[in-house]
Amino acid sequence: MTSVFGVPLPALLAQLLLGLVNGSFYALLSLGLAVIFGLLNVINFSHGALYMMGAMTAWIGAEYFGLGYWPMLILAPLLVGAFGMAFERLLLRRLYGLDHLYGLLLTFGATLLIEGVFRSFFGSSGQPYPVPELLRGSADLGFMVLPIYRAWVVAVSLAVCLATWFVIERTSLGARLRAGTENAPLTKAFGVNVPLMITLTYGFGVALAGLAGVLAAPVLQVQPLMGSNLIIVVFAVVVIGGMGSIAGSIATGLMLGVVEGLTRVFYPQASSTVVFVVMAIVLLVRPSGLFGREQ
């Protein structure tokens, strides 16, 4: 059997594919963070709690209202996005123009509040969420058996990431978004409703977190603290890719998922810290991140 550094090739390919699945979650979550920071200049520490809210909303829809996976795949991100827009209009908008620390503290407090509310109602134990019938089963790839649902997660994440990048970087709507955040008075002079545009942008960014939560629900146990540890890794992904860089977040999220998978093969003890080691090295060599712009 062919091996690489003593590791059988099928095992190596299997970990690479599983790393790509994890990387798709990283890419989708870090994309939402990059949209919010890149366009609104807000460090949204509540992103992990909103990811959890998407998963919990999907579970509540199934448990209490009989709504299956497919309706909740649309409805849960919309509900999380609506919550984000209300949060931006009522609280976050008051902090624009102030130091980043104020927004960070506000969103950190929102994280504790959101997690506390869900814990008080549903407890801390994990809840199973079934894989939709259409996506059950697996495909034999020769070197591993891949669950169809995980392939679906990768496909949806990549499609959403690429569509978001295209809209922001290659369309007139994206140009107006960037102009509104860089020079709001001038953009308003052209008849653009900048406050509404900022609210919708924030809502879209947090809706991406909600979508990632729904996609993760059948893979992980749904519980109120599921976003607490993941958000630290996602922040590291955004820093490595370059704060505010859409393409950087997508590419880095996928890359680090694969790196994490390879680390599990060659040095499993470091798999939980390799992302932060990479972040330290990148910041030493290029403080603005791999795709970030030098100030």
**pLDDT tens series, the chain, 295 aa:** 566 556 676 777 777 888 888 889 899 989 888 888 877 888 888 999 999 999 999 999 999 999 999 999 999 999 999 999 999 999 998 888 788 888 889 999 999 999 999 999 998 888 999 999 999 988 887 767 788 999 999 999 999 999 999 988 888 888 887 777 777 777 777 777 888 888 988 999 999 999 999 999 999 889 999 988 788 888 899 899 988 788 888 999 999 998 988 888 888 888 888 999 999 999 999 888 888 766 5
Identify the residue whose tokens are 């880095």: 252
Distance in angstroms between the alpha carbons of the first and the last residue of the chain: 51
8 has which bridge partners? 3
Q: What share of the chain is helix, strand, coil (3-state, %, to 5)?
A: 75, 5, 25
**How does DSSP assign 135-147, residue by residue?**
G-SEEE-SS-EEE
CA angle 213, 218, 221 (to 5 degrees): 80
CA angle 51, 231, 122 (to 5 degrees): 45
Residue type at 65 in one-letter notation: F
Task: Give the per-residue pLDDT at 4.
Answer: 58
Separation of alpha carbons 239 and 194, rounded Å: 27
